[in-house]
């Protein structure tokens, strides 16, 4: 397991969140197999299915079951582990090859209207030093469409404030250069007067790198401050993509901006934008809500 985790971190460039989740899943599987006096290398398809069945019924609430998305991640972790075991010659065939992932319903990405996004990034929670940091963080995640893990891993040297560009290390350790707008640049300039010129871009109160969990809290509290509940960092990323598309940006350009490997991932924003347009039409057009009478 330790060597597999090194593989995830070094070769595949998985995020810390993914590594923690995969490691937790494999530890759970290992403990289950021990009750059957087996090791990970000895597991068969039936044992994997039995473990997944138990995991599915292992929700915290009494009588609850875990969601299809959660179970799909568990299947993904197991498949990844046994593919690596096969590649390294530890097993002759993968017991996970015939595992089927549950069908995960596709949800339209949540995004903010432009006035909502402006309110959230311009009026974050807290005051003083913390407000400067929070505004810079929120403006950059929205302005550049960054993942929260990408934002908190930035160093000051990744910024080019003269040209409004940031060098980002994305999923799979793929680097990209991403533009951002003047509001984000202004917020970053104000924030950088408060921190050392070399080191992590976003700091916590102890002067260490801000964590993803803290960035989630900052985003959620900024939403609450502006009357928006349940706001998360990915909603800012979705908002960036949706607003670019609504303003006429090319899908390929948005794909490069967000660091999507596949264009199909970016194409879901066309559905979001169409749904939003329809909602606006129905609320604004004088004939949209009328019914023809006999």
Task: With beta carbons less than 8 A apart as the criterion, state whether 200 and 209 touch.
Answer: yes
Looking at the DSSP assignment, which residues form a beta bridge with residue 101? none
| Catalytic position from the list 74, 133, 237, 243 | 237
CATH 1.10.443.10: which residues of the chain?
A: 114-283
In sequence order, what are the residues at sequence separation of 6 or more whose Cβ sits closer than 8 angstroms to the Cβ of residue 156? 192, 195, 196, 197, 198, 199, 200, 201
Residues 206-220 have pLDDT tens digits of 999 999 999 999 999
- Domain 2-87 belongs to what architecture? Orthogonal Bundle (1.10)
Give me the helices (H) in 41-196, please: 45-56, 68-87, 114-122, 128-144, 148-152, 182-192
Look at residue 252 in the predicted model and tell me its pLDDT: 80
List, by residue range, all CATH 1.10.150 domains of the chain.
Answer: 2-87
Cα separation, 247 vs 211, in Å, equals 33
Task: Say which of 49, 79, 167, 171 is annotated catalytic.
Answer: 171
CATH of 114-283, one of 3.90.700.10, 1.10.600.10, 3.60.21.10, 1.10.443.10: 1.10.443.10
Mean pLDDT of all residues in 192-221: 94
Which element (helix H / strand E) includes 211? none
What are the start-end ranges of the H helices in the chain?
A: 2-10, 16-34, 45-56, 68-87, 114-122, 128-144, 148-152, 182-192, 212-225, 233-246, 251-258, 263-284
* Cβ-proximal residues to 127 (8 Å cutoff; 6+ apart), any chain: none
Of the candidate ranges 55-59, 93-97, 124-128, 271-275, the one whose mean pLDDT is the lowest: 271-275
Average pLDDT over residues 163-188: 89
Q: How many CB atoms lie within 10 A of CB 205?
A: 10
For the chain, percent of residues with pLDDT exceeding 90: 53
Q: Read off the pTM.
A: 0.64
Give the pLDDT band of residue 11 (cuts 50, 70, 90).
Answer: confident
Q: How confident is the model at residue 281 (pLDDT cuts 50, 70, 90)?
A: low
Pick the catalytic residue: 74, 125, 238, 260? 260
- 237 is known as an active-site residue: yes
Active site (annotated) includes residue 171: yes
Tell me if residue 234 is catalytic: yes
When pLDDT is cut at 50, 70 and 90, the band that residue 293 belongs to is very low
Active-site pick, 49, 56, 234, 276: 234
Span 186-209, mean pLDDT? 95
Asked about 269 being catalytic, the answer comes back as yes
């Amino acid at each position: 397991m330790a060597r597999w985790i090194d593989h995830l971190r070094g070769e595949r460039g998985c995020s810390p969140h993914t590594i923690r989740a995969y490691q937790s899943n494999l530890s759970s599987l290992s403990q289950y197999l021990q009750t059957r006096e087996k090791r990970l290398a000895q597991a068969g398809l039936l044992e994997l299915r039995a473990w997944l069945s138990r995991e599915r019924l292992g929700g915290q609430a009494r009588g609850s079951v875990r969601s299809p998305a959660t179970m799909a991640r568990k299947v993904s972790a197991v498949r990844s582990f046994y593919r690596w075991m096969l590649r390294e010659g530890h097993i002759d065939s993968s017991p996970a090859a015939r595992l089927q992932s549950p069908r995960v319903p596709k949800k339209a990405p949540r995004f903010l209207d432009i006035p909502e996004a402006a309110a959230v990034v311009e009026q974050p929670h807290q005051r003083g030093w913390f407000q400067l940091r929070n505004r810079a963080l929120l403006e950059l995640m929205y302005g550049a469409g960054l993942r929260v893990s990408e934002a908190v891993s930035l160093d000051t040297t990744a910024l080019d404030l003269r040209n409004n560009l940031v060098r980002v290390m994305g999923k799979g350790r793929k680097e990209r250069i991403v533009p951002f707008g003047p509001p984000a640049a202004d917020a970053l300039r104000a924030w950088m007067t408060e921190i050392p010129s070399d080191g992590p871009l976003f700091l916590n109160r102890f002067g260490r790198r801000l964590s993803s969990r803290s960035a989630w809290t900052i985003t959620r509290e900024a939403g609450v401050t502006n009357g928006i509940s349940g706001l998360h960092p990915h909603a800012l990323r979705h908002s960036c993509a949706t607003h670019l598309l609504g303003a006429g940006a090319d899908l390929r350009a948005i794909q490069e901006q967000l660091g999507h490997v596949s264009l199909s991932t970016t194409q879901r924003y066309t559905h979001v934008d169409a749904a939003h347009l329809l909602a606006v039409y129905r609320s604004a057009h004088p004939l949209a809500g009328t019914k023809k009478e006999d």
